[in-house]
Amino acid sequence: MTDGEKKLLMALVAMVHQHLHAYGDQVDNLAVSAGERAIQVLSDFGLMEMVNTRFGRWTEAGKKVSEEIWYVERAPATSHTNAVQLRGVNTRSLEELAPLAAEVATNADLLKRFEDVAFGDDDRRTYAVAEEIKAYVRKFDPSLTEHDSAKVVLLAT
């Protein structure tokens, strides 16, 4: 598998986790063609197995990739504050991240670039500037997770 294929598959794994529903060990494609195709492609690469025309199941290789990309696992919520569990990640509260967001807010050039692209049609440029903000904030705290650095982008902008 090439590096390019691996990057695309990792993105597809993340999208399946984010947009399709899991029931036990099965993933429902919601009878939507994009969901059907996603499960089929992941099955072709050995990351899922087809259960039937509607459901797929993660293989051990698929579970491993999910862990590599810090997949957010939704757990049954006992309250709104405990609705999401991150596997292997300690997330920080917004209050803990606020000082980092304030530091980003002092970089007028970076915020201006984000403002210029945030509501435009060029998703690639918006993504690139958001990634630049995440890299900038990691200079102040290299231990930030991807999830927390994304929260800092939202707080700062």
pLDDT digits (tens, 9 = 90+) for 47-101: 999 999 889 999 999 998 888 876 645 444 344 444 444 444 457 788 888 898 8
DSSP E strands in 29-123: the ranges are 48-50, 55-58, 72-74, 84-86
Higher pLDDT, 147 or 137: 137
- pLDDT-derived band at 38 (thresholds 50, 70, 90) equals very high
pLDDT above 70 coverage of the chain, percent: 87
Contacts of 110 (CB under 8 A, 6+ apart): 104, 129, 132, 133, 136
Q: What burial class does residue 87 get, using C-beta atoms within 10 Å of its C-beta: 0-12 exposed, 13-18 middle, 19+ buried? A: exposed
Q: What is the Cα–Cα distance from 55 to 26, expressed in whole angstroms?
A: 6
Q: Look at residue 73 in the predicted model and tell me its pLDDT.
A: 52
pLDDT of 79: 41
Residue 71, pLDDT score:
63
Residues with Cβ < 8 Å from 140, sequence gap 6 or more?
100, 103
